[in-house]
Amino acid sequence: MEPLYQSKIKCICCEFTFMTSRVRPSFKRAVKTDTDFCGYYKPEVNPDFYVVRVCPNCGFASTENGMERLNDQQKKQYHEKSTGKIRIIAVCEARNKQWPATS
Ligand SMILES: [Zn+2]
């Protein structure tokens, strides 16, 4: 079974719907945990790399357990502060310590 699957997400900032990679529950279990709770996972995939979802339309980043929506003022502030400052990259590919590759 593949460790990743695609899930449809709706951006809470611009309401754009996009697909993002998620880790199957059986691959989320740590094989070892340090006393500081740093987890070690199967070599196929590290679930920590898939916590953040980035909207390919506006660049807003969120997490599954983060805010459920933004009010109009928050959306306006995000767009004002982010315009021209964000370079949106592919978000559906497998991620690792080198992701995203800079070029
Ligand atoms: Zn968005």
Residue ranges covered by each domain of the chain = 4-82
**Pairing between β-strand 39-40 and β-strand 52-54 as defined by DSSP bridges:** unpaired
Residues of the chain with pLDDT under 50: 103
Q: How far apart are CA 16 and CA 94, in angstroms?
A: 22
Residue found by looking up tokens 């690792």 in the block: 96
Q: Which of 50, 43, 53, 47 is nearest to 11 (CA)?
A: 53
**CA–centroid distance, residue 68 to ligand 1 (Å):** 13
**CA–centroid distance, residue 78 to ligand 1 (Å):** 10
**CA–centroid distance, residue 38 to ligand 1 (Å):** 31
**CA–centroid distance, residue 11 to ligand 1 (Å):** 5
pLDDT in tens, 37-48: 888 888 778 888
The pLDDT of residue 36 is 94
The pLDDT of residue 1 is 84
CB-based contacts of 95: which residues, under 8 Å, 6+ apart? 21, 46, 49, 50
